[in-house]
Structure 1
Amino acid sequence: MLPVSKTKSLQPETFEKEPSKIEKDGDLHIKRSPSSPQGGPKKRSAFEDLTNAKQNQAQVQVSKRKGGKSVSKKTQKSSVRQEALKNDENLKSAGPKAPREHLDSAKEKKPKTPEAPEEKADVDKLVEVQPPPYDDVDKENLRDPFLNAIYAKDIFDYMKDREEKFVLKGYMEKQPDLNIEMRAILVDWMVEVQENFELNHETLYLAVKLVDHYLAKAVCMRETLQLLGSTAILIAAKFDERCPPCVDDFLYICDDAYQREELLSMEVNILRTLQFDINVPVAYRFLRRYAKCARANLETLTLARYICELTLQEYEFIWESASKLAASCLLLALKMKDLGGWTPTLQYYTGYQVTDLHSLMRRLNLLLYSKPDERLKAVRYKYAHKVFFEVAKIPPLDVLKLEEQLKLNTV
């Protein structure tokens, strides 16, 4: 057994005033300095620009300069009357015109061009907007900038595309000094480290991925396997945690079996081997996203997390894609809780149909049926606690019942 020691949890740790106003005789006057571009305050009528008052004043000034006399008000009125009489005579000479009532009736009697039936159908289509077949789960969180709901779909589509870059194949035959049981014991120890340091679950999943990808490209000896696991957790914690543990903490949990220089050298070796590309898509991120799309409660999500975390110790699940594994774990948890099956919303956000998950669901259900190894108790003991709703005690689905549902495509 790999030694585990509990450690203490780390504790992270003038408006300018408005321009002054003077109230005088019930009116408000804003202060304006005489040196401003507009000069001092001037009185003017509200419609001064729309009238011809300025033009009349200009004509009077021009007449005064030329020596002429100003025209009196009586002469102005007489000239207006003469112009009105001339206009009446012009209207009479133009001949009779149709009364306005006849014109209005003629406008009403104009035949209207009938609308084409195709245009009416297009209008009806625009009016009757059909709702999408899936539920828009991000719409209700658009106002929260911390959730990035407007980019959530694009982010997970990008992560799903990146899975093709991190496809794992069997590598244990290339390791002369390791076997499948040693890997399972290492992952079981990493689960305990994640609990002792109270790290995020994403950190645990990423650390296991880093171990697998490193072992797929480099040879590791038995005596340095624990050093590889602790260093992978250190790198994952730096990537995902807000306050990651320090190097001395990882040396302590290894029971001082390694020196500080050895751990730092292993960190550089892992990063160079993986070419510093450690943003590996993990199943836990997809699982939380899909559970939100299904509007599953916390207990159902915890059950799906338990099933998914059991696969970390199993070597035969390393080549499964993270998104497909998360979708299968959620669907199996929904069936175990009798909460329905695959919905159009889940099919839209996951990109998987229910038939794509049949074989993986069978394997996951058999994993729950299998007798646990006495050396691998960390995950089952963890999820048997009341904090995790004791989901490890929920019995798996009956194999015959699951097969009947798979044949009828009712899952």
Structure 2
Amino acid sequence: MPVPRNSKTTGSKQLRPGKAGAVENARPEKEESCQAKRSPSSPQGAPKKRSAFGDLTNAHKNQAGLRKKDATKAGPRKAQKGTAALGVLKNNEINLKKATRKTPPDEASAEPKLVPKNDPVLEEPAPVQAPAIEDIDKEQLGDAYASAEYAKEIFNYMKEREEKFLLPNYMEKQYDISRDMRAILVDWMVEVQENFELNHETLYLAVKLVDHYLVEVVSMRDKLQLIGSTAILIASKFEERCPPCVDDFLYICDDAYKREELIAMEMSILRTLKFDINIPIPYRFLRRFAKLLPLPWSQCAHASMETLTLARFICEMTLPEYDYVQESASKLAASCLLLALKMKSLGGWSPTLEYYSGYSSHELHPLVKRLNFLLTYQHDDKLKAVRTKYSHRVFFEVAKSAPMDMLKLEVALKS
């Protein structure tokens, strides 16, 4: 299985320099880049910013002109109706007296004041909860690479796609593969991601590819590592700027498979999944929700980044666990962030977090308790890649953080 980290420097090809992660409009991007890769080499120059194009049309002028034309047309019509009414009243004095009795001039002049259309005093109380919701994309509207104008629609689309990629209990039909074997494979994939200095999105997507492939195909245990390494290769081509080559994956498998076998497995995975590999992963949602941490990033960047890293550690701890396979990516990410907030005593689920995540605090409580139980009791000495990874000072040693007591967590969630 995994090759020692220090042994690769002599026998294998030299690893590529650190690659930039997926372009996302997250505030902690500068500090998170140092955590994604430990290599001292820096990525290529950061993309230049440019302002988004403004409105080049004269639609607002045309609309203003149309409004003026409509106003001029509406005037004579009202005047004609008024003259016709006066003519009728002059011809019939009895109707004129009845009309003046029913609608006196004082009441007629008072009617418009009862329901004013453009009264700012009455329109002000209408948006009651609007000030509580913060626009997290307004600061990056001028950045063409951030896609802030479409960020909300993109994540709504990803959340809709979660229904298409719900995983069933596929271990029931896998007679030669068990949950423990899957956990060992994922633990090895974490080490591969760390040794190759790949993005975290690559790791999460590779694990999703393995699960979705095993849903459709009954596999043998001797092919499980081949499936895992091929999934990392496909995910690297999808996420990385400079993905590792095929020979690198043959090397990490200790030459247990041939080049033709790996290429054939790549074709099999893509055909089985119908080439639809843009699967929603919790790490993307977590980076989106991290922009809503209730701390000023300019003054408490260290504390905010440590909280985000703790949420990432909790989320990555669920990868080897088969019990979390059927959880949706967005709900898992929101629950990990809520547990991290409670562990750091940073408050609860704000209205802004509820708005952008789509989950209320009560919807997340059961999953938050399960995650805290995972950190507290479910320890396997054989599967320690994630804990070892996040015990490094680059990740603020968040793996050494003490989990919350179950009773204290229960009280904190109710508060």
- Flag whether TM exceeds 0.5 (same fold): yes
* CA positional deviation for 1:372: 2.0
* AA partner of residue 158 (structure 1): Y
Is structure 2 residue 351 aligned with structure 1 residue 352? no
- Aligned with 1:123 (options 120, 124, 135): 120
Which residue in the other structure is 2:394 paired with?
A: 387
Correspondence for 2:141: 142
Change in 2 beyond 3 A, CA 1:374/1:252: same
- Equivalent in 311, 315, 324 of residue 318 of structure 2: 311
Aligned to 2:307: 300
* Aligned counterparts, 1:251-266, within 5 A: 251-266=250-265
Distance 1:399 1:279, change over 3 A: same
Give the CA deviation at 1:234: 0.2
Tell me the secondary structure at the aligned position of residue 300 of structure 1. Answer: helix
CA distance in structure 2 between the aligned counterparts of 1:299 and 1:129, rounded to whole angstroms: 39
Structure 1 residues 220 and 3: CA distance shift in structure 2, 3 A: farther
Letter in 1 for 2:347: G
**Contact 2:294 2:346 survives alignment (8 Å):** no
Distance 2:136 2:402 in 1: 31
1:369 counterpart = 2:376 = yes
1:347-375 per-position Cα deviation (integer Å, ceiling 9, x unaligned): 00000000100110110000000252121
Q: Is the 8 A contact 1:163 1:321 kept in 2?
A: yes
Unaligned runs of 5+ in 1: 14-110
Q: Give, as a single letter, the amino acid of the residue that structure 2 aligns with 1:117.
A: L
Amino acid at match of 2:15: S
Structure 1 residue 132 displacement after superposition:
3.2
* Residue correspondence of structure 1 range 336-347 to structure 2 within 5 A: 336-347=343-354
Q: Which residue of 1 aligns with 2:79?
A: none
- Which runs of 4 or more aligned residues in structure 1 lie more than 3 Å from their structure 2 counterparts after TM superposition? 1-8, 111-115, 120-123, 125-132
- TM-score, length-normalised on structure 1? 0.72
CA distance in 2, matches of 1:348, 1:294: 13
Show the counterpart of 1:324.
331
CA contact (8 A) 1:294 1:345 kept: no
Inter-CA distance 157–146: structure 2 relative to 1 (3 Å threshold): same
Instruction: Compare 268-277 and 287-296 and name the one that shifted more.
Output: 287-296
Shift of 1:129: 7.8
2:69 paired residue number: none
Q: Which residue of 2 aligns with 1:239?
A: 238
**More contact order relative to length (CA 8 Å, sep ≥ 6):** 2
Partner Cα separation in structure 2 for residue 326 and residue 178 of structure 1: 28
TM-aligned CA distance change 1:218 to 1:326, over 3 Å: same
Q: Is the 8 A contact 2:165 2:279 kept in 1?
A: yes
Task: Show the counterpart of 1:9.
Answer: 15
* Alpha carbons 2:2, 2:252 under 8 Å: kept: no
Name the counterpart of 2:182.
183
CA distance in 2, matches of 1:326, 1:396: 18
Q: Could you tell me how far apart the structure 2 residues matched to 1:335 and 1:4 are?
A: 37
Larger radius of gyration: 1
Report the residue type matching 1:170 in the other structure: N
RMSD value over aligned CA atoms?
2.0
Aligned to 1:228: 227
Query: Could you tell me the percent identity over the aligned residues?
Result: 64
Secondary structure of the equivalent of 1:298? helix
User: Are the aligned partners of 1:4 and 1:254 in contact in 2 as well (CA < 8 Å)?
Assistant: no
Contact 1:4 1:193 in 2 (8 A): no
Letter in 1 for 2:175: P
Given that 1:4 and 1:192 are in contact with CA atoms closer than 8 Å, whether structure 2 keeps it comes out as no
CA shift, 1:294, in A, is 2.5
Which one-letter code corresponds to 2:186 in the other structure? V
- The letter for the 1-side match of 2:246 is V
Aligned to 1:192: 191
C-alpha separation between the residues in 2 aligned to 1:127 and 1:175? 61
Task: Give the aligned residue type for 1:375.
Answer: K
8 Å contact from structure 2 (residues 342, 412) kept in 1: no
Q: Which amino acid aligns with 1:123?
A: P
* Cα distance in 1 for residues equivalent to 2:312 and 2:143: 26
Residue identity in the other structure for 2:323: E
Q: Aligned letter for 2:229?
A: S
Q: Kindly provide the amino acid, as one letter, of the partner of residue 358 in structure 2.
A: G
- CA–CA distance in 2 between the matches of 1:310 and 1:147? 29
Distance (Å, rounded) in 2 between the aligned partners of 1:4 and 1:229: 18
Q: Which range moved further: 130-139 or 313-322? A: 130-139
Quick one: distance in 1 between partners of 2:410 and 2:152? 33
CA distance in 1, matches of 2:133, 2:395: 30
The structure carrying a bigger helix percent of its residues is 2
- 1:165 alignment partner in structure 2: 164
Number of residue-to-residue matches in the alignment? 312
2:275 is the alignment partner of 1:276: yes
TM-score (norm. length: structure 2)? 0.72
Q: CA deviation at 1:392?
A: 0.4
Q: 1:141, CA displacement in angstroms?
A: 1.2
